[in-house]
Amino acid sequence: MSLATPVPARVLLVWDAPNMDMSLGSLLGARPTSTFRPRFDAVGRWLLDLAGPDAVAEATVFTNVVPGSTEVVRPWVEALRNVGFAVFAKPKVSDDSDVDEDMLAHIRLRAGEGGLQHVVVASGDGRAFREPLETLDADGTAVTVIGFREHASFALSSR
């Protein structure tokens, strides 16, 4: 007789880098620099605290890479990996080649595996995330949205 291995509890962070950067830039009135961007080491520590000792903490930053900018993006990707983040980078070849669907597919994958205790989404994109996150919440998964009040009104108007 074989016993199934229990699925560990998981706290999942998915970070929409293009959306967060665009939102921050619109608030600053200019392209943000590292001075204004979040410290991912601090975000990672917060996520580990949120997960606690009994859950797996997983963090993935999703981003687009404009052709020709690989060498500029590489140090940032390496820095993210050095503090424990996975990075999903997708070429930005057209206006509709953003990472929203990839983020949603990753959330669905983890939810389908079982044990998804908490999802944290860093994005102000209510069009892409509101309904899926409300469904997760209704199914018993805790949901947190990280975003700027000016751009994440979907989260403010949802329970």
Nearest-CA neighbor of 6 among 57, 54, 59, 60?
Answer: 54
Is pLDDT above 60 for 1? no
Does a structural domain hold residue 39? yes
| Residue 141 phi, psi (nearest 5) | -90, 130
Q: Mean pLDDT over residues 124-147, rounded?
A: 89
Sign of the dihedral through C-alpha 106, 61, 80, 74 = positive
Is pLDDT above 90 for 41? yes
Q: Mean pLDDT over residues 118-135, rounded?
A: 89
Q: Mean pLDDT over residues 40-64, rounded?
A: 95
* Percentage, residues of the chain above pLDDT 90: 53
Higher-confidence residue: 4 or 27? 27
> Half-sphere exposure (CA, 13 Å, Cβ side) for 59?
22
> Half-sphere exposure (CA, 13 Å, Cβ side) for 91?
4
* Percentage, residues of the chain above pLDDT 70: 92
Instruction: Give me the helices (H) in 29-149, please.
Output: 40-51, 70-82, 100-113, 126-138
Does a structural domain hold residue 95? yes
Question: Residue 152's domain is classified under what CATH number?
Answer: 3.40.50.1010
Is pLDDT above 60 for 73? yes
Give me the number of domains the chain comprises. Answer: 1
Is pLDDT above 80 for 158? no
Is pLDDT above 70 for 136? yes
Q: Residue count of the chain, please give it.
A: 159
User: Which of 45-54, 96-105, 119-128 is most confident?
Assistant: 45-54
Locate tokens 């392209």: which residue? 31
Q: Is 58 helix (H, G, I), strand (E, B) or coil?
A: strand
Does a structural domain hold residue 84? yes
Any idea of the CA torsion for 53, 44, 49, 13, to the nearest 10 degrees? -80
Does a structural domain hold residue 1? no
In this prediction, residue 36 carries a pLDDT of 84
Does a structural domain hold residue 2? no
Higher-confidence residue: 7 or 133? 133
Q: Is 55 helix (H, G, I), strand (E, B) or coil?
A: strand
Distance from C-alpha of 128 to C-alpha of 47, rounded to nearest angstrom:
23
Distance from C-alpha of 114 to C-alpha of 116, rounded to nearest angstrom:
6
